[in-house]
């Protein structure tokens, strides 16, 4: 990944600066051009040597495979230069490393498989995602639009995303998972850790990546605070620790170094655990379900919507207000006004 490579080139610092990223991109470009030059030279040499062995007077055939290869490689080099330029612009605009990596992953496949960067090639590439959900297609359309607009190529394709409500999560479903974890016959040493992880998800609304990246230094038991660092959009926030979590978190962080993971699980592994628990308990929940439960519970208990927004780390209040529609309590109050 781009961020990981930058960290290596900057002396192992996982918080590589924009200057580190620029140096990495510049070095990558120089190395890429060097490899291309070597490849093109070797292709010409191979052909010339082969031609001399067969017939010194034989002319080079038009449209030979070697020529096509060189054209494709040259086109790919040009496209990758344009992509690097675009990614650099995102970096300079202060967008998060996670976002830039996702954009890079999607667009790298695009620029390396199309012959030309234009509207038609972008539409054809986007069409390959027709089987995905509207949210995913909309996100990919945004990635393509950003790159093409950066190159002064109009691309204004909009994917209609239906307005759907988050699932309403029953507390009884979560309780079933808790009971299954408690009854585990194997890996009993992890039971306390798993229960604390589940309760932390339920009582903080943290995202999967935030739970997986939570470090010991981010848990301040004296102040009863969890500090979420580098959340979605590289935003930090503070979440008060619920009294029910204090004992479990105290046990997990005891004796660990500040930089160690609280739960000892990467985000992907953590998500798989939640899925495994749900399947065993006979319910259909995932990590984000606990975030929905956290939000709807606060709305149902009358918490201030701005406070909920801050706890969830939403940039827009409109995103948080969706949970008002899940409970529909405010609509019931309006209906009850009628005679």
Q: Are strands 219-220 and 237-240 parallel, antiparallel or unpaired?
A: unpaired
Nearest in space to 242 (alpha carbons), one of 207, 288, 277, 294:
294
Nearest in space to 288 (alpha carbons), one of 229, 209, 215:
209
Cβ neighbours around 313 below 10 Å, total: 20
207 catalytically annotated: yes
Gyration radius (Cα) of the chain, Å:
27
Q: Which helix (H) or strand (E) holds 120?
A: helix 119-127
Among the options 3, 139, 150, 232, which is catalytic?
232
Whether the Cβ atoms of residue 78 and residue 50 lie closer than 8 Å to each other: no
Whether the Cβ atoms of residue 178 and residue 244 lie closer than 8 Å to each other: no
Nearest in space to 44 (alpha carbons), one of 22, 65, 23, 66:
66
Whether the Cβ atoms of residue 191 and residue 248 lie closer than 8 Å to each other: no
288 catalytically annotated: yes
Among the options 202, 207, 208, 292, which is catalytic?
207
Among the options 208, 291, 292, 293, which is catalytic?
291
291 catalytically annotated: yes
**Per-residue CA distances from 73 to 77, 108, 115, 310, 333 (Å):** 6, 14, 10, 49, 65
| DSSP single-letter state for residue 262 | S
**What is the DSSP code string of 34-74?**
HHHHHHHHHHHHHHHHHHHHH-TTPPPPTT-HHHHHHHHHH
**What is the DSSP code string of 12-28?**
S-SS--HHHHHHHHHHH
314 catalytically annotated: yes
Return the active site residues.
207, 232, 288, 291, 314, 323
């Amino acid at each position: 990944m781009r961020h990981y490579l930058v960290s290596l080139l900057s002396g192992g610092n996982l918080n590589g600066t924009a200057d580190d990223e620029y140096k990495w991109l510049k070095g990558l470009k120089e190395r890429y051009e060097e490899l291309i030059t070597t490849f093109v030279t070797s292709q010409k040499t191979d052909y010339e040597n082969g031609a001399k062995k067969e017939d010194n007077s034989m002319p080079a055939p038009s449209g030979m495979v070697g020529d096509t290869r060189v054209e494709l490689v040259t086109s790919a080099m040009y496209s990758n230069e344009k992509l690097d330029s675009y990614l650099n612009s995102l970096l300079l605009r202060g967008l998060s490393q996670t976002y830039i990596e996702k954009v890079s992953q999607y667009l790298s496949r695009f620029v390396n498989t199309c012959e030309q960067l234009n509207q038609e090639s972008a539409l054809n590439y986007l069409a390959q995602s027709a089987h995905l959900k509207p949210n995913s297609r909309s996100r990919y359309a945004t990635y393509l639009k950003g790159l093409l607009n950066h190159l002064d190529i109009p691309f204004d394709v909009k994917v209609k995303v239906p307005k759907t409500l988050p699932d309403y999560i029953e507390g009884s479903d979560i309780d079933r998972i808790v009971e299954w974890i408690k009854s585990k016959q194997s890996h009993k040493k992890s039971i306390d850790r798993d229960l604390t992880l589940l309760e932390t998800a339920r009582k903080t609304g943290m995202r999967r990546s935030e739970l997986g990246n939570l470090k010991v230094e981010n848990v301040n038991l004296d102040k009863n605070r969890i500090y979420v660092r580098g959340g979605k959009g590289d935003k930090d926030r503070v979440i008060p620790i619920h009294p029910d979590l204090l004992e479990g978190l105290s046990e997990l962080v005891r004796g660990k170094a500040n930089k160690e993971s609280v739960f000892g699980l990467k985000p992907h592994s953590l998500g798989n655990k939640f899925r495994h628990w749900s399947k065993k308990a006979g319910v259909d929940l995932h990590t984000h379900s606990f975030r929905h439960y956290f939000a709807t519970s606060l709305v149902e208990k009358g918490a201030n919507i701005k406070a909920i927004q801050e706890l969830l780390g939403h940039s827009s209040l409109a995103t948080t207000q969706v949970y008002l529609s899940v409970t529909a309590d405010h609509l019931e109050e309006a209906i009850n006004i009628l005679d």
